[in-house]
Structure 1
Amino acid sequence: MELTDWKSALPPVFNRLCEEIQVMDVIIEWVDIIFEQIGTASKCPPHAHTWFEFNYVLTGRLDTHFGGDSICVQANEFFLIPPGMVHSHTYTKGNPHEGLCFRWRIRRADGGEENVPGGSLYARLFRLQKWKPGSYRDEAGFGAMLIHFLREAALQRSELGLQLLLVGLLEQLCTLQQSMEGQSGLTRTYQDPLVRKVEIYLEDYQGGRLSVAELAASLHMSYGHLSRQYKKLTGHTIVERMNQIRLEKAAELLRLPDALVSESAEQAGFADLSYFSRAFKKRYGQSPLSYRKEQLRLPIEEAGE
């Protein structure tokens, strides 16, 4: 069954799912489950609501605004809007988006305690109110989860079973929330199209010394204009951001059991080990070797810290 068929057949199924369900110590009220289609609309004005809203773009693109910040959301990206967050949307003429939208509210179940087996689900879901606004690339398999949900709905599975699939989606969001707070690799797309293009270039860059001039040429811009625009939009230079990405890569490598500081630095793009050690300590507050020891709780195996 294709997306067109699902859009025709599944709305009545979705409507039947929009009721309360209790899981552990939380009651989840499904407010809305819809295929999002914009029709002839060009924008949605600023507004807020009392529920959570999860949007996954399947095709096309839209621009979403959080206060003064604007983000471009494209296919296979998603965003989460917590209760009370003011936002608006602008739709792209000639490239309308289609997607799935889930809205829900939560409250603690009567007699629900935080010290429940496996931890409080209510507490984990409540923390989603602190979700950072932005558009996120789907690196956690949400697309596959949604396709599975649609297929099960098309097969007329039980309402409880379908609701529990959506609860699994919320739990995955909680896992990503923890990753985001721990800075462990969640990739958020950036708020301006130019910044997003630069980020993609930097993340894919495998060379040694970065040439901002070559990057500017690839974007059909002058070196000076690109540098000024990027600094204006992000508050830091392109070279500074490149170093951030390389330091994050080095930290990831240092968490591997057999990692060596020198090899991690080289693979991350640092030719000068002394400079790498200074930059790493400035960013993470400790030397690369101390960081590796703390992360893995291994004895120090290398000299020359």
Structure 2
Amino acid sequence: MDALADLLDGPRARGAFVMRSLLDPPWSLRIADRAPLAVIVVTRGSAWFVPDDAEPTRLGTGAVAIVRGPDAYVVADDPGTPPRAIVHPGQTTTTPDGELLCETWDLGVRSWGTDPDGATALLTGTYEFAGTVSERLLRALPPLAVLDGDQVDARLLGLLVDESGRDAPGQAALLDRLLDLLTIAALRAWFARERAPRWYHAYADPMVGQALRLLEHNPATDWTVADLAAAVGVSRAALARRFTDLVGEPPIAYLTEWRLARAADLLRGTDATVESIARQVGYGTAFSLGAAFKRRYGISPGAHRRGANLTSGDDEPAMDLTGSGTDG
């Protein structure tokens, strides 16, 4: 599995929140649910995405927005419209004064808003819980990634919209899987664009692409740059230079980041012991993994497994996963 495939394997919805919002202007929703990831599709009309600390972005009909949490933001008919509803953790919805709106704005199965025939219709799929999206995927994404409707398979959009209005046995599980498919399709389309992370484009390079796959498929191997160069069939100096140019960091630094990122996902996504995970990702003992993990992320593996958020340690640079500052 390469890094992109591994990232796209990250979304695993369990009891995700899927809702259609039907709205007439003026309308404005402040989303403060602290969710790690959400996908917003504008199925009718248009909307504005308004973060607290960046410029607003207009979303036209068909737009698919991938929103990385947990920071709050506003979705509105106009950037200047003050919030009329606030979505809290657990998807509880109130007015700014605290009045519950769940029943007041109820418009049927998984539908709510101000008018069933409103000028704007949004479909929102929300991954509400830590662990349903890999930490590495979240670190790879910007706060907002927007795709035009023609960049995502319309059949997936239509199926999720249709199924979101049904209430049949097993519907929640079906919606979880459909949301995963839509999210993966949207992420793949976004990563294929020019501003994808540097390592994405590096896979096309015969030398560096092969080296990346060897590192990622075999993290438990005690790699050196010389060993990696020999496996690829080039000189050590040539590999080190080209790998750093294309990926943005040297091979062993990339391997360290990959190992720790894999460990973070395994801690949240499996019941394997820390000792077992340490061996899988190339650390000989739980102690050595714990020391490296805390240095990189600021918390212990056990704290991360219990739900604590990762931070960036001061001693190791983060892998350039955002695509910012790259030349494509």
Q: Same fold (TM over 0.5)?
A: no
So what's the TM-score if we normalise by structure 2? Answer: 0.39
So what's the TM-score if we normalise by structure 1? Answer: 0.42
Larger radius of gyration: 1
